[in-house]
Homo-oligomer: A and B are copies of this chain.
Amino acid sequence: MKLGAGGGVKLGALATPALLVDSAALDHNLRTMSAALPGPRLRPHVKAHKCTALAHRQAALGHRAFTCATVREMEGMAAAGLGEDLLLANEVLDARRLGALAARGARVTVAVDSEATLEAAAAGGVREVLVDVNVGLPRCGCAPEDAGRLADLARRRGLSVRGVMGYEGHLMIVPDRAEQAKRVAEAMALLARAAADVGGDVISAGGTGSYDLNRVATEIQAGSYALMDTAYAVLRQPFRLALSVLATVISVSPRFAVADCGLKALGMDHGNPAVDGAKVWFCSDEHVTFAPERPLRPGDRIRVWPAHVDPTVAYHERLHVVDGEDVVEVWPVDLRGW
């Protein structure tokens, strides 16, 4: 099925497992975030959906700058005509593909957090960087007090330093909002200090879990808000679960039922998915075993709600946008791989 052509297909006709996006929930999520963070205040992260058709929806709402996690995502976004301002919010030691992308006309900015990564950026032909600052998540990012030195080095190497980024990823899901606000503020104080040392006009940070708490970032790198998952749902944000996997019940026993959506169709790092009206027991490669509250029969269809959106989408070739029982669009998940 080609892009944009659901072609009158009904949900019941889809082979399972099939990744579904509820059209109304997606629209609600996109508009809600755009109202909160209009235009350049939001730099949507494409890693959560890996889908340029969905990114076009975000761009149509006024967000022209995007965040990526992989070189492949950068390349795919540029190829889809969305290369106006692409940030690779990640470090690379070989920036040649990024340099080639910039040479073809995309605006390419890459995160650097060491002499080696800024050297790689320059050697690969990338011209613009953000200094990535560790604000508490034990992952990438230089120490805040080292950011100014790296910015100086980068400028001496001929790079344009647009500012800083610092992802408070360890604070995305903190159920107590007051506690979360306090800790986000502490993390962002580190980033603000680094920003003062670095210069530039960009302070890029944040995510779906902190989009309304971050008072320092000039732009928020949220991605999950578009589709959402059961892990984020505990935060009681204004976003709706838009992503599910349609599955078929293939076997029924007295105490449990089995459907054809297994751990190869789901990101499992946040644990088991949820099934409406049922207790999930476990997932195998191609099965979910669950105890339903009401009797099911082989052939019945169920919705499986993933615990983590990003690695779920990455297993699927396409997203089916649905309105009730109608498949209204089919979008390739075209940013997979590396």
Q: A17-B338, A251-B113, A315-B314 are in contact. Are A285 and B92 (CB under 8 A)?
A: no
Interface segment, one of A3-11, A136-144, A177-185, A324-332: A136-144
Given the complex of chains A and B, what is the CA–CA distance between A140 and B248 in angstroms?
Answer: 13
**CB-CB contacts of A61-95 with B at 8 A, as 1s and 0s?**
00000000111000000000000000000111110
Contacts of A281 in B (CB 8 A): 138
Contact among B140, B253, B286, B314 for A69, CB-based, below 8 A: B286
Contact among B91, B97, B289, B314 for A250, CB-based, below 8 A: B91
Given the complex of chains A and B, what is the CA–CA distance between A180 and B310 in angstroms?
Answer: 37
Given the complex of chains A and B, what is the CA–CA distance between A248 and B70 in angstroms?
Answer: 13
Given the complex of chains A and B, what is the CA–CA distance between A265 and B114 in angstroms?
Answer: 25
Answer whether residue A105 sits at the interface, using C-beta atoms and an 8 A cutoff: no
Q: Supply 15 A–B pairs (Cβ within 8 Å), ascending by A.
A: A70-B286, A91-B258, A91-B298, A92-B250, A93-B250, A93-B298, A94-B248, A113-B251, A116-B298, A116-B299, A117-B298, A139-B289, A140-B250, A140-B251, A141-B251
Nearest residue (CB) in B for A91 is: B250
Q: A139-B287, A337-B317 are in contact. Are A298 and B250 (CB under 8 A)?
A: no
Contacts of A269 in B (CB 8 A): 263, 268, 283
The A interface is mostly helix, strand or loop, or mixed, namely loop
Given the complex of chains A and B, what is the CA–CA distance between A317 and B289 in angstroms?
Answer: 28
Nearest residue (CB) in B for A252 is: B114
Answer whether residue A34 sits at the interface, using C-beta atoms and an 8 A cutoff: no
A26 to chain B, nearest CB (A): 21
User: Are B15 and A250 in contact, CB atoms less than 8 angstroms apart?
Assistant: no
User: Are B337 and A287 in contact, CB atoms less than 8 angstroms apart?
Assistant: no
Q: A250-B92, A258-B139 are in contact. Are A298 and B114 (CB under 8 A)?
A: yes
User: Are A117 and B314 in contact, CB atoms less than 8 angstroms apart?
Assistant: no
A262 to chain B, nearest CB (A): 8
| A-B contacts besides A92-B250, A138-B256, A264-B311, 15 pairs, CB < 8 Å | A16-B338, A47-B285, A70-B286, A90-B287, A114-B298, A117-B250, A117-B298, A138-B281, A140-B287, A143-B253, A169-B284, A267-B268, A268-B268, A314-B315, A317-B337
Q: Which of A120, A134, A269, A289 has the most CB of B within 10 A?
A: A269
A240 to chain B, nearest CB (A): 22
